[in-house]
């Protein structure tokens, strides 16, 4: 089997061929996506997509470890990165290290991702110096939804543009191998991509970013509670599932399912032998 994509290899893609990224939460999804992507993110978006919470805040470290392990069992090629959930890293570099070390040792993932720019610089440096590759996440930060007052794009005012630029630069300076740029005005995201030394991975950002990521369930039409403008839907698998469930229901009610081919039948003569 070919070797797994490493975080230094992702880092080296700055300015090169776009880095293809998607989220995955389960073994089977990881198996389907692995041949097509450079990086699989076990995002804390699973709190909304899998568990039905209305934000990512209730997600726990144990949930991230369970899903990170599941994805690792399905991914042989992609670089697998696991989100540090809300409350598991913001208190101190030591808390972040403790949480990130559990993710690394219990899942076998290649690194962690955390939200926050300048304020997280010390923490990112602390983790990287101790052997934990970090992907940063700046711009729209879903774990800060209560401070921001909603899921809103940033970079519209000069002050916001300066802040997200400083945040991305601080993450590069602190040793992050890449930075996710979410919900950021296109020209601002393009300018940051030109100015920072590490790859930018855009989501609601810019085609100029060094890579792109989306939530897989959004891409495949498996989640429709809320679809941000930056999502491009490539399939309607949710619609297919509804149709299949309706067909199954009709078959069961009409006793068309199971057919004899789905049943265990006695071998001829086998049952009656004395």
Query: Which spans of this chain sit near Na ion (rule: CB under 5 A)?
Result: 43-44, 83
* Binding flag, residue 44, ligand KIV (CB under 6 A): yes
Closest to 180 in 3D by CA, of 205, 160, 144 = 205
Is-cis flag, bond preceding 120, omega within 30?
Answer: no
Query: Judged by CB under 6 A, which stretch of 26-34, 36-44, 98-106, 188-196 contacts ligand KIV?
Result: 36-44
Query: Judged by CB under 6 A, which stretch of 4-12, 40-48, 150-158, 164-172 contacts ligand KIV?
Result: 40-48
Query: Judged by CB under 6 A, which stretch of 39-47, 72-80, 153-161, 243-251 contacts ligand KIV?
Result: 39-47
Residue linked to tokens 């309607």: 236
Q: Among residues 43, 74, 85, 111, which is the contact residue for ligand KIV, using CB under 6 A? A: 43
Least distance between ligand KIV and beta carbon 16 (Å): 20
Task: From the list Na ion, ligand KIV, none, pick the one residue 23 interacts with, judged by a Cβ distance below 5 to 8 Å according to partner type.
Answer: ligand KIV
* Binding flag, residue 38, ligand KIV (CB under 6 A): no
Least distance between ligand KIV and beta carbon 49 (Å): 8
Residue linked to tokens 């998607």: 22
Q: Among residues 72, 114, 213, 222, which is the contact residue for ligand KIV, using CB under 6 A? A: 213
Nearer to ligand KIV by Cβ, of 36 and 256: the residue is 36
Q: Is 113 annotated as ligand-binding?
A: yes
Least distance between ligand KIV and beta carbon 253 (Å): 39
- How many residues are given for the chain? 274
Task: From the list Na ion, ligand KIV, none, pick the one residue 192 interacts with, judged by a Cβ distance below 5 to 8 Å according to partner type.
Answer: none
Query: Judged by CB under 6 A, which stretch of 41-49, 100-108, 118-126, 149-157 contacts ligand KIV?
Result: 41-49
Nearer to Na ion by Cβ, of 83 and 169: the residue is 83
The question of whether 182 is a catalytic residue gets the answer: yes
Q: Is 44 annotated as ligand-binding?
A: yes
Least distance between Na ion and beta carbon 174 (Å): 19
Q: Among residues 79, 203, 209, 219, which is the contact residue for ligand KIV, using CB under 6 A? A: 203
Q: Say what the alpha-carbon torsion angle 135, 139, 142, 147 is, to the nearest 10 degrees.
A: 130
In angstroms, rounded to a whole number, what is the distance separating the alpha carbons of residues 65 and 83? 9
Summarize the annotated binding site for Mg(2+) as residue ranges: 44, 83, 115
Summarize the annotated binding site as residue ranges: 44-45, 83, 113, 115
Q: Looking at the annotation, which residues are catalytic?
A: 182
């Amino acid at each position: 089997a070919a070797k797994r994509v490493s975080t230094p290899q992702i880092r080296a893609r700055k300015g090169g061929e776009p880095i293809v990224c998607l989220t995955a939460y389960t073994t089977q999804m990881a198996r389907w996506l692995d041949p097509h992507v450079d990086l699989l993110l076990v995002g804390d978006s699973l709190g909304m997509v899998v568990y039905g919470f209305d934000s990512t805040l209730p997600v726990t470290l144990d949930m991230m470890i369970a899903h990170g392990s599941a994805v690792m069992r399905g991914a042989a090629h992609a670089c697998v990165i696991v989100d540090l959930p809300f409350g598991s890293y913001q208190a101190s570099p030591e808390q972040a290290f403790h949480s990130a070390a559990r993710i690394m040792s219990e899942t076998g993932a290649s690194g962690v991702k955390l939200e926050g720019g300048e304020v997280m610089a010390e923490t990112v440096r602390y983790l990287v110096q101790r052997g934990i590759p970090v992907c940063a996440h700046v711009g729209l930060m879903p774990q800060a939804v209560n401070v921001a007052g909603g899921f809103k794009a940033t970079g519209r005012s000069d002050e916001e543009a300066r802040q997200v630029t400083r945040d991305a630069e601080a993450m590069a300076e602190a040793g992050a191998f890449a930075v996710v740029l979410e919900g950021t005005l296109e020209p601002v995201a393009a300018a940051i991509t030109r100015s920072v030394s590490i790859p930018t991975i855009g989501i609601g950002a810019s085609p100029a970013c060094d890579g792109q990521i989306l939530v897989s369930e959004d891409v495949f039409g498996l989640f429709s509670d809320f679809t941000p403008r930056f999502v491009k839907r490539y399939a309607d698998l949710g619609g297919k599932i509804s149709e299949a469930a309706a067909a199954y229901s009709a078959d069961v009610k009409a006793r068309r399912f199971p057919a004899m081919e789905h049943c265990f039948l006695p071998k001829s003569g086998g049952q009656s032998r004395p």
